[in-house]
Chain A
Amino acid sequence: MSTPVENPDEAFVADPVAWPLLDPSAHARLQQFYALEAHLLDERRFRDWLRLFADDLHYWMPIRRVLPPRQRELEFTGPDELAQFDENLAELTQRVEKIETGKAWAEEPPSRTRHLVTNVMAREESEGWSVRTAFIAYQSRSERDSHAFVGERRDQLIRAEGAPCGLLVRRREIRLDHATLVAPSLSIFF
């Protein structure tokens, strides 16, 4: 005999404890934060983009691997292994400085990008929010080269007075859906 569902909406939430239904205002605020971030990236306002990160940032994109069932928990490389990005704020800033020289040939002429960030799931925590989003980062380069990077971002956001939407990213783990990258480089941000 099945238990009657009191709130029919919650039946659709796979894990209502980990990812509770968001109240609409919280959802809107997080969406706005991510829309602003995507806008800054796509407008190539990288200095402004850097202001969305906390001083103790960890920005990390592990490598994804094709593994058999018994080793499946090792699908993503761990913190002691190689990664696509493994940055603190100073290191991420250095990447922006490289582009600003005007001689970073993988970004000069500049990539045309569009970051779409969606599927927001969030959990409020003592210092802010734990958030998962899905993204497509589309990159068009030169005359007709294009690459689409697709994946999930796992963010830890902290509340910060005066920050856009009152939030800063302290930790970002980017999980691409690609194993072997089908692109000559990762010269854009995620």
Chain B
Amino acid sequence: MLTSERLAALADPDTGDVSAAIYTDEEVYRRELDAIFRTSWLFLGHESQLRKAGDFFTSYMAEDSVVVTRNRTGGISAFLNVCRHRGMKICRAELGNARAFQCTYHGWSYGLEGDLKAVPNQEAYGPDFALEDWAAIPVPRVESYKGMIFATWNTDAVDLIDYLGESAYYLDGVIDRLPGGSEVFGGIHKWVIDCNWKMPAEQFASDMYHAATSHVSAIAVNLPEDFDPLKHGLDQRDGVQYWSDEGHGGGYFLADKPNPAIWLHPRAKEWLISTYEEAEARLGAHRAAHVSGHNTIFPNFSWLAGTNTIRVWHPRGAGKIEVWAWTIVDSGAPADVKNAFRKGSLRAFGPSGLLEQDDGENWVEIQKTMQGSVSRDTTLCYRMALDAPIRRSEHSGAHEGPLFSDTAARNFYRRWSALMGSGLA
């Protein structure tokens, strides 16, 4: 049984000792669904997916399917995609435009805000039956940050802007570079990886270290002839890792002018450089120059600056995830620039992506290996930069330290342990 003592043995954020069992243990996973995913803000999608009244898409909050709509008053509603009659999915489409959703089992119909509008043969339920008693379960908190729609089941949660905290500063560097903000392309990459959700979430929070080994082949075929490794982020000396008390984290290379990742499409690189002054006026020099880097908002939302992939690691059991990845771009960019970001993103970080392929391979192998009795009891080493000096960022206020470091991962597990341990005997 999971106890405080057992939990403390699973992950010690102070020493950096983490048991591989956190990736495989079914009891840990079942508790995560409640303790982590019912308390935290989760990313649902982007407002540009809901341009007019009646537009909807279905999304997930961990394993729970939800319907997200642009309602009649122009606001955004979200409700559990479960019919109150027999539990059938109310909406079976990924996206569309609708006035109402009719369950395909017995025909109960729901409005854009999840309100129950009609029940066939309603008189048989008797005079006391009231439609308003059987609305779809609403997602109680839905808030947007600059077009990014998040939601939580936790009515006591802090506001989204406070939850994002210092991370909003880094997120702005991608979604709010220029006037007009940003939008996502049509189409979401959705694919299944047989690994625990924490592997990718933690990697995007804390791990610039893997790139030179995991992605060596992608780096090799993208190298320009005048390649200088010190200028292109294979060396940690000019990098920063940041993390926040909410469990978020990220890392990036320092630069005094935009230095886009080598795998970006040439036209996209050009755009980041040619709009630098405008972005600098809006964001300040520090962020305007940082056009690459990895980031996670606890628990399972991540993004990469530059390639502009934003994604959710939906858990599907202890050993499986469904990745949903969108590509985001400056709304005001000309068509050829948008196309360059679209192609660059899907060719680097879509399921076929020259970089993405390598990560899935590692995570799948880890998950399989950790099924062994001895393997899952193995202590994994999260000790990098354990004693490195840390400071507060003069820009965002986040904690920061050296780029090649497990500190943001330890911090991720500190937050994880706190939520998991709440109320445990």
Contact = CB atoms under 8 A, between A and B. Distances in A.
Interface of A: 61-63, 65-68, 70-71, 77-78, 80-87, 91, 94-95, 97-99, 101-107, 142, 145, 179-187
A141 to B, nearest CB: 9
A105 B351 CA distance: 14
Contacts of A70: 96-97
Among all A-B residue pairs, the 9 with the closest Cβ atoms: A82-B187, A184-B360, A81-B186, A106-B357, A186-B352, A77-B187, A181-B191, A104-B217, A81-B187
Interface string B363-388: 11100000000000000000000000
B187 A97 contact: no
Interface stretch (B87-95, B121-129, B405-413): B87-95
A186 B94 CA distance: 22
Nearest to A83: B346
Contact of B356 (A78, A80, A185): A185
B339 A71 contact: no
A142 B93 contact: no
A127 to B, nearest CB: 26
A179 B95 CA distance: 13
B322 interface: yes
Contacts of A102: 217
Contacts of A77: 186-187
B272 interface: no
B354 interface: yes
B188 A82 contact: yes
A66 B92 contact: yes
Contacts, number: 140
Contacts of B364: 145, 184
Given A65-B94, A70-B97, A187-B357, 20 more contacts: A63-B188, A66-B93, A67-B94, A68-B98, A71-B95, A71-B97, A82-B186, A82-B187, A82-B326, A82-B327, A82-B346, A85-B352, A98-B354, A104-B218, A105-B361, A142-B365, A145-B364, A180-B191, A180-B192, A185-B353
B358 A105 contact: yes
B425 interface: no
Nearest to A184: B360
Contacts of A98: 217-218, 220-221, 354
A21 to B, nearest CB: 36
B362 interface: yes
B248 interface: no
10 contacts: A63-B188, A77-B187, A82-B189, A82-B327, A83-B346, A84-B350, A86-B342, A104-B217, A105-B214, A184-B360
A130 to B, nearest CB: 25
Nearest to A178: B191
A98 B222 CA distance: 9
B420 to A, nearest CB: 27
A37 B89 CA distance: 43
B216 A80 contact: no
A181 B222 CA distance: 27
A81 B93 contact: no
B57 to A, nearest CB: 10
Contact of A82 (B97, B185, B358): B185
Contact of B360 (A65, A68, A106): A106
Nearest to B186: A81
Contacts of B343: 86
B237 interface: no
B194 interface: yes
Nearest to B347: A91
Nearest to A91: B347
Nearest to A106: B357
A80 B342 contact: yes
Nearest to A75: B94
Contact of B352 (A67, A80, A84): A84
A70 B99 CA distance: 12
Interface in B87-121: 92-98
Contact of A186 (B194, B214, B351, B362): B351
A86 B191 CA distance: 17
Which residue among A87, A102, A187 has the maximum number of chain B CB atoms within 10 Å of its CB?
A187
A91 B348 CA distance: 11
Contact of B96 (A68, A78, A91, A99): A68
Nearest to A108: B217
B189 A101 contact: no
Contacts of B350: 82-84, 186
Given A80-B342, A82-B342, A105-B361, A181 B217 contact: no
Nearest to A94: B221
Contacts of A68: 92-93, 96, 98
B30 interface: no
Contact of B187 (A83, A181, A183, A185): A83
Contact of A181 (B92, B190, B327, B339): B190
A109 B363 CA distance: 16
Nearest to A65: B94
B193 interface: yes
B354 A94 contact: yes
A183 B351 contact: yes
Given A82-B185, A183-B192, A97 B221 contact: yes
A66 B186 contact: no
Contacts of B353: 185
B94 A101 contact: no
B357 A81 contact: no
A46 B379 CA distance: 41
Contacts of A67: 93-96
A101 B347 contact: no
